């Protein structure tokens, strides 16, 4: 499958055109389920059930999501909410929610946890969270339930399902770039730290593959030096991103792409790298083209760049969220999430390598 995946990309594109023509509309074959692993960028409420200060279960979070907070760190939908809509699957429920049992898990599950990282210690100053390794263990408990419900059909179900992985941001923001709490920046050079993350990441991806998942979309880390939280540190001139922070992410993102190439050599595997850094960079470099006018401050937050203190309960957010790239000190708006989702789903190899999510669904 590894070599074929690259050689047959042109063929899959051709198949999509025929598929769309024959159906009269653009669309994709429906994946049976979506399994989401990650951090606050894709958390849908797991941290609501944990002893953590990293929570967003209060207004104005969710102001554009039926006017109610759910635990999503956004004004509206997350990246995976929109991907799920494109796939035609219901929003995967939060694993930690005690109601996430029975038929509710047949469309997948969301294990993402705010402050979580690839490394177990990342984000520990926020309290409880599901790290990457814990999320893999949690998935295995879901798998036990699925086996009970589906029997031998679970193998085919998992092979056709899609796993989305969104990790790495906290390993920098809430570990490497926080030397007052974590020693990692004294112990490792930026490239050494990136390789440490990649080694841990690779092992957990193989663990998920070994229990039956086959289709993975792995998002890279965006330009963290441009988020309001980092701009607010004063390490860069007004209107500028913190270049050092962006530069140290290069080894990690390139490493994810290389890891994808290696993992695609495994039987039946389809691993895809999402170029989050490039997609967000395009928006920041030419915001008006994408409909944005504010790129350097949060819609909801306090202090310099509305990024020194993140969005507090019942704070007044900006009135027009569609004009803002960032919702709070750390997270993008629903408008940005929509762009990222479309590029992951339909984009060329520069956005989604070596194939996009829509193409991924055409492999049985």
Domain of residue 302 covers 34-361
Report, as an integer, the average pLDDT of 251-259.
98
Do the domain assignments include residue 217?
A: yes
Which entry of 28, 100, 171, 331 is annotated as an active-site residue?
A: 331
CATH number at residue 298: 3.40.50.1110
Do the domain assignments include residue 248?
A: yes
Q: Is 331 a catalytic residue?
A: yes
Residue 92 has a pLDDT of: 97
Encode pLDDT of 146-187 as tens digits: 999 999 999 999 999 999 999 999 999 999 999 999 999 999
Tokens for 192? 């050494």
Do the domain assignments include residue 2?
A: no
Which of 16-20, 71-75, 245-249 is predicted with the least confidence, judged by mean pLDDT? 16-20
Report, as an integer, the average pLDDT of 253-282.
98
Encode pLDDT of 278-306 as tens digits: 999 999 999 999 999 999 999 999 999 99
Tokens for 183? 């020693």
Mean pLDDT of the chain: 93
* C-alpha–C-alpha distance, residues 116 and 199, integer Å: 17
**Phi, psi (rounded to 5 degrees) for 267:** -55, 125
pLDDT band at 20 (very low <50, low <70, confident <90, very high): very low
Residue 123 has a pLDDT of: 98
Which entry of 64, 81, 328, 351 is annotated as an active-site residue?
A: 328
pLDDT at 24 over 70: no
Counting the structural domains of the chain, the total is: 1
pLDDT band at 364 (very low <50, low <70, confident <90, very high): confident
Which entry of 28, 40, 52, 161 is annotated as an active-site residue?
A: 40
pTM: 0.93
Do the domain assignments include residue 16?
A: no
Higher pLDDT, 283 or 11: 283
Do the domain assignments include residue 15?
A: no
pLDDT at 16 over 60: no
Do the domain assignments include residue 23?
A: no
- CB neighbours of residue 94 within 10 Å: 24
pLDDT at 10 over 50: no
Cα-based distances in Å from 139 to 136, 174, 209: 5, 24, 12
Residue 248 has a pLDDT of: 98
Residue 7 has a pLDDT of: 53
Tokens for 198? 């990649």
Encode pLDDT of 184-208 as tens digits: 999 999 999 999 999 999 999 999 9
pLDDT band at 1 (very low <50, low <70, confident <90, very high): very low
Do the domain assignments include residue 18?
A: no
Do the domain assignments include residue 58?
A: yes
Cα-based distances in Å from 40 to 36, 132, 224, 251, 332: 12, 13, 14, 22, 11
Q: Is 40 a catalytic residue?
A: yes
What percent of the chain is predicted at pLDDT more than 70?
Answer: 92
* C-alpha–C-alpha distance, residues 164 and 30, integer Å: 15
Residue 309 has a pLDDT of: 95
What percent of the chain is predicted at pLDDT more than 90?
Answer: 91
Q: Which three-class secondary structure string do you get for the chain?
A: CHHHHHHCHHHHHHHHHHHHHHHCCCCCCCCCCEEEEECCCCCCCHHHHCCECCCCCCCCCCCCCCCCCCCCCCCCCCHHHHHHHHHCCCCCCECCCCCCCHHHHCCEEECCCCCCCCCCCCCHHHECCCCHHHHHHHHHHHHHHHHHHHHHHHHHHHHHCEEEEECCHHHHHHHHCCCCCCCHHHHCCHHHHHHHHHHHHHHHHHHHHHCCCCEEEEECCCCHHHCHHHHCCCCCCCCCCCHHHHHCCHHHHHHHHHHHHHHCCCCCCEEEEECHHHHHHHHHHCHHHHCCCEEEEECCEECHHHCCEECCCCCCCCCCHHHEEECCCCCECHHHHHHHHHHHHHCCCCCEECCCHHHHCCCC
Encode pLDDT of 99-150 as tens digits: 999 999 999 999 999 999 999 999 999 999 999 999 999 999 999 999 999 9
Encode pLDDT of 25-67 as tens digits: 344 458 999 999 999 999 999 999 999 999 999 999 999 999 9
């Amino acid at each position: 499958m590894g070599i074929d995946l690259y050689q047959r990309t042109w063929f899959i594109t051709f198949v999509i055109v025929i598929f769309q023509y024959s159906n009269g509309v653009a669309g994709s074959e429906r994946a049976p389920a979506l399994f989401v692993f990650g951090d606050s960028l894709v958390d849908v409420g797991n941290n609501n059930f944990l002893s953590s200060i990293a929570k967003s279960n209060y207004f104005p979070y969710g102001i554009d999501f039926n006017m109610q907070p759910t635990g999503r760190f956004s004004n509206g939908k997350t990246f995976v909410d929109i991907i799920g809509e494109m796939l035609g699957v219901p929003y995967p429920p939060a694993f930690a929610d005690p109601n996430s049992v029975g038929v509710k898990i047949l469309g997948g599950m969301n294990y993402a946890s705010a402050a979580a990282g690839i490394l177990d210690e990342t984000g520990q100053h926020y309290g409880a969270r599901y790290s990457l390794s814990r999320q893999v263990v949690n998935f295995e408990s879901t798998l036990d339930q699925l086996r009970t419900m589906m029997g031998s059909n679970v193998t085919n179900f998992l092979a056709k399902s899609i796993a989305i992985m969104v990790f790495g941001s906290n390993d920098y923001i809430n570990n490497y770039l926080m030397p007052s709490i974590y020693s990692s920046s004294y112990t490792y050079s930026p490239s050494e730290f990136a390789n440490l993350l990649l080694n841990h990441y690779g092992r957990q991806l193989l663990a998920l593959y070994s229990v039956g998942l086959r289709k993975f979309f792995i998002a890279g880390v965006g330009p963290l030096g441009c988020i309001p939280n980092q701009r607010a540190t004063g390490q860069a001139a007004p209107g500028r991103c913190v270049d050092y922070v962006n530069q140290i992410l290069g080894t990690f993102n390139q490493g994810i792409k290389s890891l994808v190439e290696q993992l695609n050599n495994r039987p039946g595997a389809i691993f895809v790298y999402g170029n989050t850094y490039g997609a967000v960079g395009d928006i920041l470099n030419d915001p008006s083209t994408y409909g944005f006018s504010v790129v350097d401050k949060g819609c909801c937050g306090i202090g310099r760049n509305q990024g020194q203190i993140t969005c507090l309960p019942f704070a007044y957010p900006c009135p027009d969220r569609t004009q803002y790239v960032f919702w709070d000190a750390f997270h993008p708006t629903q408008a940005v999430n929509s762009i990222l989702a479309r590029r992951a789903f339909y984009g060329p190899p520069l956005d989604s390598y070596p194939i996009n999510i829509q193409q991924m669904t055409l492999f049985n």
